[in-house]
Amino acid sequence: MMKRINLFDNFSINEAYGVAKPTTFYIRKLTWIAIDEFYKYVEATRELGKEGIDDLEYEVVVPYNQLVNCIPRGGDSLEQYSKFPISEIVLALNMHKHDTEKMKGNDWMIGGYAMPFAKGRELKATRFKDAVKQLTDHSLSIHLGLEMFYGPYFKRVSTDHPYFERTHLFKKIESVISHELNHLYEFYNRKINKAPSIRLAPTMAALVEEDTYKVPKNIFDIWSNDFLTYIYQSEPHEVNAQTQEAETYISRMGWDRFKTTRLYKDAIKMKNWNHKSYLEQLKKEIHDENMDVDLTVDRLKEYFLIDYQNKVIEFKETPIPDPWKLFNMSTEKFFIYYEKIINEAGEKLFRNLAKLHNAKRH
């Protein structure tokens, strides 16, 4: 029988300021592993030329004998370890060399994902293992992944540089790993406390490809970047993970400099998101394309809700909100509904960021 190591009242990350301390032990080591593997890939594919394209997928397994040195000695470190008893980390690496067009003006791009516990016989999943310390009766093999892209004009900074850990690349990889570890921590705590799993349907419905909507790219970009993205970022588990992601930057920056980051800007945009201003912008873009404005907005709403319902069925979830109730709302009420959700999530994220900054000052 599983020990109940960390019982939450509301099954949200209740660590100080939204950062799950037991996950932080492993962030730096994983970041350096990712950097080393990325640089090896860059070196191996340079010969393809500036516009050459390549993709490579593989896994790096980090065993307990390499992780144990990440756990601090003394203090409450053993207690913290017992809250997230990792004995193995499987780091899936998806490396890509892309041409100028696909990189869209970027020298490099980094993304990440976290794999929850297996529901069947999935190979790529987080799993329970035998204990490695007497503090718990089990341990964890966690599975997270990185998508790492580089383009024709990517220039490597030597890892021997004394300030390498302050480079944009290092901080980005570190922040993505921190974000995904936060998700894995929540997966684990929900699992051992027999709480409902994180709802993935709203997230996946908001992360759709352009072709799904069959509208011009400029219209889809406004729909996706200024609305769907905020639905995704408003999910409670995403607010938690974004808070932990931000700690990478706040720990190294003053508040004024942090204000230039995407995380801060998104929190402000969400806090102040207004459905009337948004619809005015969206409708103007539709009108400029000589399309039926009201019909197109209704179709965008409909496509989103159909995709959401399909994801609910795929993941066998109890949907919150109910897509059919949203479908039966007027378009105006639909956007009013999401305005409240986005504003509240933005306000919470902003408060978390401010608390992190204040904690750093003191």
Pairing of strands 127-129, 139-150: antiparallel
Residues with Cβ within 8 Å of residue 123, at least 6 apart in sequence: none
Tokens of 272: 């102040």
Q: Tell me the Ramachandran region of residue 244: left when phi exceeds 0, alpha when psi lies from -120 to 50, beta otherwise.
A: alpha
User: What are the phi and psi torsion angles at 21 (to 5°)?
Assistant: -55, -40
Span of 43-52, 80-89, 173-182, 217-226 with lowest mean pLDDT:
43-52
Q: What single-letter amino acid sits at 235?
A: E
Residue 361: per-residue pLDDT: 72
pLDDT at position 166 over 70: yes
pLDDT, tens digit, for every residue of 24-51?
A: 999 999 999 999 999 999 999 988 887 8
Say if CB 93 and CB 59 are below 8 A apart. yes
Residue 15: per-residue pLDDT: 58
Residue 141 pairs in a beta bridge with: 88, 127
Residue 336: per-residue pLDDT: 97
Pairing of strands 108-115, 127-129: unpaired
Other CB atoms closer than 10 Å to residue 240's CB: what's the count? 25
Q: What is the mean pLDDT of residues 164-184?
A: 96
In angstroms, the CA 164 to CA 28 distance is 13
Domain boundaries, the chain: 1-198, 199-362
pLDDT at position 13 over 50: no
Query: pLDDT-derived band of residue 123, with 50, 70 and 90 as boundaries?
Result: confident
Kindly list the distances between the CA atom of residue 172 and the CA atoms of 57, 177, 241, 277, in Å, as whole numbers in the listed order.
20, 9, 14, 32
pLDDT, tens digit, for every residue of 177-188?
A: 999 999 999 999
DSSP assignment of 182-245: HHHHHHHHHHHTTPPPPP-HHHHHHS--GGGT-S-HHHHHHHIIIIIHHHHHHSHHHHHHHHHH
pLDDT, tens digit, for every residue of 225-237?
A: 999 999 999 999 9
In angstroms, the CA 144 to CA 250 distance is 24
Q: What is the mean pLDDT of residues 267-288?
A: 98
Say if CB 235 and CB 207 are below 8 A apart. no
Give the residue among 334, 232, 227, 345 at the shortest CA–CA distance from 281.
227
Residue 315: per-residue pLDDT: 86
In angstroms, the CA 303 to CA 335 distance is 15
Give the residue among 154, 149, 159, 52 at the shortest CA–CA distance from 110.
149
In angstroms, the CA 285 to CA 292 distance is 11
Residue 108: per-residue pLDDT: 97
Say if CB 232 and CB 346 are below 8 A apart. no
Q: What single-letter amino acid sits at 217?
A: K
pLDDT, tens digit, for every residue of 295-353?
A: 999 999 999 999 999 999 998 888 888 999 999 999 999 999 999 999 999 999 999 99
Kindly list the distances between the CA atom of residue 272 and the CA atoms of 114, 342, 347, 356, in Å, as whole numbers in the listed order.
29, 9, 9, 21
Q: What is the mean pLDDT of residues 46-75?
A: 91
Residue 5: per-residue pLDDT: 32
Residues with Cβ within 8 Å of residue 52, at least 6 apart in sequence: 45, 97, 99
Residue 8: per-residue pLDDT: 32
